Structures are given as C-alpha cells and as structure tokens.
C-alpha cells in the first residue's frame, strides 16, 4: 500500500519534459539535416564551374547506363526486404513479401524529405498492418543496421588495402595529406591508440557503477544481442547471402554509372585500375560512410564523397559534380516512383491512412526514447 502511494507521489511530482527540449529535438531531427544539405550543396557548387558541369550533363552522358543503375537499385531494396523478412519471421511476424518491399520503398522515399523518419515509418507500417508490437519490429532492425555497419567496415578495410598507393599519392600532394601519411607511419601513433583503448577499458572497470558506464554497457549488450540473434536465427546463411546481394547491388549501380561518362569510362580501361573496380570501390566506400551524416537523401555529403573519391584518380571537380549529381538524381527519381507505387499499394490494401501517419509520429517519439 505504501509502495503504491509512493509511486503515485512520484508520478504527481514528475515534471513533464520542458517545451524547449521538445523543440530542440525537433530542430535536430528535421531542421539540421536540411541546413546541412543546403550548406554542403552551396559549398559544392562554389567549387565548380556550373556551366561546365551542365554542359557535361547535357552532351557527355550515355543515359542508358544511368537507367541500368536505376534498375539495379530496385533489386537492392527487394533483397533488403527479403533479409528483413528473415528477422521478422524469427519473431513470429510474417507479413506479405510485397508489403515488406513497399515498406522499404516508402522508407527511402520518406527519407528524402524527413531523414531517419523512414525507418520509423516502415516499422510502424509493418507493426500496424500485422498487429505486432512496434518495439519488437523496431528491435528487428538492430541486426539489419549491424550487418550494414559491418559491411561498411569490411569494405573500408578492403579499400585501404587495394587502393593504398592511389590514396597515398593523392594525399601527399597536399601538406595536410602528407602530414596524415607521415602520422600513420609512426609507431608511437599506433602505440598511443592501443594505450588509449586500454585506458578506456580500465576506466570502465573503475567506474562500472556510474550511470554513464551503465548506459554504455546497455548499448554494448544491445549490440551483442543483435549479433547473437542473427548468429542463432534460422536462415542465417540466407541472411548473409542477402546482405552480400544488397551491397553488391549498391556497388554495381555505381559501377555501371561509370560507363555513362567518358572521364569515368576511361578509369575502367586505365592501367592498374582493375577495369575501374578499384576507383569505384574508393568512391563507393566514401559515399557509404557519408550516409551517416543526416541529410535529405544524402544530397550534399554523398555528392562530396563521390567527388573526393573520383578526385583521387584525377577526375576534376566539375566532372565529379556532374557525375554525382546525375547519379543522385537518377536514384532520387527512382525512389519517388517507388514511393508513389507504395502509396498506391497501401491505399488499395489498407484503410485509414491518416491513422498510420499519426502512429508514425507517436512511434518516432517512442523510438527516440529507446
């Protein structure tokens, strides 16, 4: 009885979240990505000759290769839906495969306008249509994101190995780059990193009862559970296969676009370029890492990453911008088409679309608190 009274007192005295915190969270979630997109696009176009870039797009492109890249991108979404179906099946949730495909299509289309909200929407859509727990569906994405993060790290390692000579030659052209190369060749630098890691482990053990360490442990445990679920679940080899298919599609949709321009096609026939596979890998890895920066559909960070990756192999800023803008535009058009298809699919198979929008907003707040 006393415990119940205490709980009631706690609920009464607990103050609601301050309005400024709510507004700050909304600004970070919605305004910051738009601001970053605008700033980076302005910076990108300041670096290039705009008329030269437009001339390249108008007269120097074989658009059939861009269309092929757009087609390959659709398969990446289908493979992602197939992989997610494995995770949902392990939880006893078995939505129709087309519904899962549309959830992926709609997710990426929505991210063009509201970055990161697409993931919440797809979980809300599947949870509401299958009468499943939103938290369970959201939790299934942990393995999804972990697999993608691991793939990026592996591709980065591969890139540093196969493209090391080109990267070093590019960096040493600039004083800052030369400094980075020199730093990475110093034994004391790596010894400092090892010592820093050991110091962090020691601090975690000393302050293991603190709240901050507790949160770090919870995060690490969550990641470990995500890996363990994938490792133990039925169909884990299919999960690995679909992961390779997803990232294979991502890579080859960029690679085939190399044949759309003369300057990137030349990289496919250059000596030591491995038919253009190595330059494409550098641009692909950098662009994949750039997607961690919140922006509308990757506009800005993705384009600059592609420009930098191509610059390593002598492609000018104007040429790199033309390539990145055309490739980004093609993928964006495809996402808009898929988004329209998703809206049509939902309207034919579900009533009360307005309630789904409200649920998505509520679930976005819930996802932030998890």
Q: Classify residue 135: in a domain, yes or no.
A: yes
Question: Closest Cα to residue 349, out of 85, 100, 141?
Answer: 100
Q: Classify residue 264: in a domain, yes or no.
A: yes
Q: How far apart are CA 350 and CA 344, in angstroms?
A: 10
Phi, psi of 61 (to 5 degrees): -130, 135
| Cβ atoms 336, 195 nearer than 8 A | no
Q: What is the pLDDT of residue 188?
A: 82
Q: Classify residue 83: in a domain, yes or no.
A: yes
Q: What is the pLDDT of residue 22?
A: 61
Question: Closest Cα to residue 319, out of 332, 329, 331, 306?
Answer: 306
Q: Classify residue 267: in a domain, yes or no.
A: yes
Q: Give 242's strand partners.
A: none
Question: Which residues, 6+ apart, have CB-to-CB distance to 265 below 8 Å?
Answer: 258, 259, 276
Q: How far apart are CA 158 and CA 155, in angstroms?
A: 5
Q: What is the pLDDT of residue 71?
A: 95
User: Helix, strand, or coil here: 61?
Assistant: strand
In terms of residue numbers, what domain contains 246? 44-369
Q: Classify residue 11: in a domain, yes or no.
A: no
Q: What is the pLDDT of residue 76?
A: 96
Q: Which segments within the chain are labelled E, that is strand?
A: none
Domains in the chain, number: 1
List, as own/partner pairs, every contact residues 155-164 make where C-beta atoms lie below 8 angstroms and the sequence separation is at least 24, other chains included: 155/247, 155/281, 155/284, 155/285, 155/288, 156/285, 156/289, 158/281, 159/281, 159/282, 159/285, 162/274, 162/278, 162/281, 163/278, 163/279, 163/281, 163/282, 163/312
pTM: 0.81
Q: Classify residue 132: in a domain, yes or no.
A: yes
CB atoms within 10 A of CB 317: 17
Q: Could you tell me the sign of the dihedral formed by the alpha carbons of 16, 22, 23, 24, in that order?
A: positive
Q: What is the pLDDT of residue 243?
A: 94
Residue 223: DSSP 8-state? H
| Cβ atoms 250, 288 nearer than 8 A | yes
Q: How far apart are CA 148 and CA 90, in angstroms?
A: 19
Burial of 167 (0-12, 13-18, 19+ CB in 10 A): middle
Q: Classify residue 260: in a domain, yes or no.
A: yes
Burial of 197 (0-12, 13-18, 19+ CB in 10 A): exposed
pLDDT, tens digit only, all 370 positions of the chain: 444 544 444 444 445 556 666 666 665 666 777 777 778 777 777 777 777 777 877 887 889 999 999 999 999 999 999 999 988 888 788 889 999 999 999 999 998 888 778 888 888 888 888 888 888 788 777 778 888 988 999 999 999 888 888 887 777 776 656 666 677 777 887 788 888 888 877 877 777 677 776 777 776 666 666 566 666 677 788 999 999 999 999 999 999 999 999 989 999 887 777 788 999 999 999 999 988 887 888 888 899 999 989 998 988 888 888 899 999 999 999 999 999 999 998 888 765 444 554 454 455 455 444 4
Structure tokens at 176: 């800052």
Q: Classify residue 324: in a domain, yes or no.
A: yes
């Amino acid at each position: 009885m006393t415990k119940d009274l205490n709980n009631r007192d706690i609920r009464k005295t607990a103050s609601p979240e301050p309005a400024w915190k709510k507004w700050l969270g909304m600004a970070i979630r919605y305004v910051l990505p738009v601001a970053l997109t605008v700033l980076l696009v302005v910076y990108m176009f300041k670096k290039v000759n705009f008329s030269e870039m437009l001339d390249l797009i108008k007269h120097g492109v074989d658009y059939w290769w861009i269309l092929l890249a757009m087609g390959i991108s659709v398969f990446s979404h289908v493979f992602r839906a197939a992989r997610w179906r494995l995770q949902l099946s392990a939880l006893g949730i078995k939505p129709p495969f087309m519904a899962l495909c549309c959830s992926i299509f709609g997710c990426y289309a929505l991210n063009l306008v509201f970055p990161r909200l697409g993931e919440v929407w797809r979980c809300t859509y599947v949870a509401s249509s299958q009468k499943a727990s939103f938290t369970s569906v959201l939790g299934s994405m942990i393995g999804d994101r972990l697999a993608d993060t691991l793939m990026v790290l592996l591709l980065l390692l591969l890139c540093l190995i196969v493209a090391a000579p080109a990267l070093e030659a590019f960096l040493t052209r600039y004083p800052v780059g030369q400094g980075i190369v020199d730093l990475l060749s110093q034994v004391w630098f790596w010894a400092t990193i090892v010592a820093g890691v050991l110091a962090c482990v020691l601090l975690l053990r000393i302050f293991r009862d603190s709240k901050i360490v507790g949160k770090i442990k919870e995060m690490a445990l969550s990641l470990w559970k995500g890996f363990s679920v994938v490792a133990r679940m039925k169909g884990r080899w299919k999960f690995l296969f679909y992961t390779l298919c997803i990232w294979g599609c991502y890579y080859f949709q960029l690679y085939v676009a190399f044949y759309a321009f003369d300057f990137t096609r030349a990289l496919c026939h250059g000596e030591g370029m491995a038919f253009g596979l190595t330059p494409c890998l550098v641009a692909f890895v950098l662009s994949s890492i750039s997607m961690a920066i919140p922006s509308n559909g990757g506009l800005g960070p993705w384009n600059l990453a592609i420009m930098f990756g191509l610059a390593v192999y002598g492609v000018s800023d104007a040429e790199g911008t033309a390539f990145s803008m055309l490739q980004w535009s093609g993928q964006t058009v495809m996402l808009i088409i898929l988004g329209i298809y998703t809206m049509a699919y939902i309207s034919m198979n579900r009533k009360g679309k307005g309630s789904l929008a409200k649920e998505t907003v509520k679930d976005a707040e819930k996802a932030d608190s998890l």
